[in-house]
Amino acid sequence: MTLRGSISIGLVVLASLIVGTHARADGEEKTVEIVSHNTTSFGSAPFNFDGDGVANFAWFNGDAGKWGKIIGQGISQSALTGAGCTLPSGVSGFELHLVDHVAVTRFERTGSLLYERGKPGDLVACIDFNTGVFHEEGTVEIIGGTGMFQGAHGSYHAVQEGQVLVPPGSQKLQFGFANATYTYTLTYPK
C-alpha cells in the first residue's frame, strides 16, 4: 500500500469517527467560549488535497486557560489567489486562501478531542516571499468531538503570525512555525 493510500484510509477513518461522535445530541446543550494561545510547527506533507499547491502537516500545543493544556495535529493546504495583500507590519505580500484542512485537538486534562474541518477560503493568509513571514486569519468549523465534547459543534476564529522556511535548493520542501490565538465557540450536550 502506498503512503497516499494510507492517508486516504486515515481520512476515511477520521471521517467515520467524526460522523459517529457528532450524532449524539439528546437534551440540553451548553455553549462555551475557549481562548487558546498556541505554538505551531509545520513541514511539507507527502500529500495534497487537489494538487494546487503544497500541503503541510502541522503539530501544535497551547494553553486554553482554565481548560488546561491542548495538543493537536492536522493537514492543511493553501494556494495563491493571484491577489496582493498587506501584512500587519505594512509590508506587501501575496494572498493565499485555504484549499482544505482537517485537524484534531486534544484537551490534556480530560482527554476530550475536537475535530475540525476547514473549507476552501475559510482561512486567508498574506505572505512576504522575501522573508517567509506570514499572517493568517479566519474561522474554521468544529464538526464533532469525544469525551465531554461528544456531539460538539461550532467554530474557532484563528489569528496566526509565523514564518515559512524553505531549505536552499528545494522548491516544495518547507518548514515553519507560528504563534496563534484561537477563540472557540462550542456548543455540546450537557
pLDDT tens for each residue of 152-176: 999 999 999 999 988 787 766 789 9
pLDDT in tens, 76-120: 999 999 999 999 999 999 999 999 999 999 999 999 999 999 999
Q: Is the pTM of this model over 0.75?
A: yes
Residue 50, SS3 per DSSP: coil
Q: Identify residue 57 by its one-letter amino acid code.
A: F
Question: What is the C-alpha separation between 4 and 16, in angstroms, rounded?
Answer: 19
Tell me which residue of 146, 166, 143, 174 sits closest to 48, measured CA to CA.
174
Beta strands in the chain (DSSP E): 29-44, 55-63, 69-86, 92-107, 112-118, 123-127, 133-145, 153-165, 175-189
CATH architecture of 3-189: Beta Barrel (2.40)
Give φ, ψ of 75 to 5 degrees: -125, 130
Count of beta carbons in the 10 Å neighbourhood of residue 50: 11
For the chain, the structural domain boundaries read 3-189
Cell readout for 129 is: 516571499
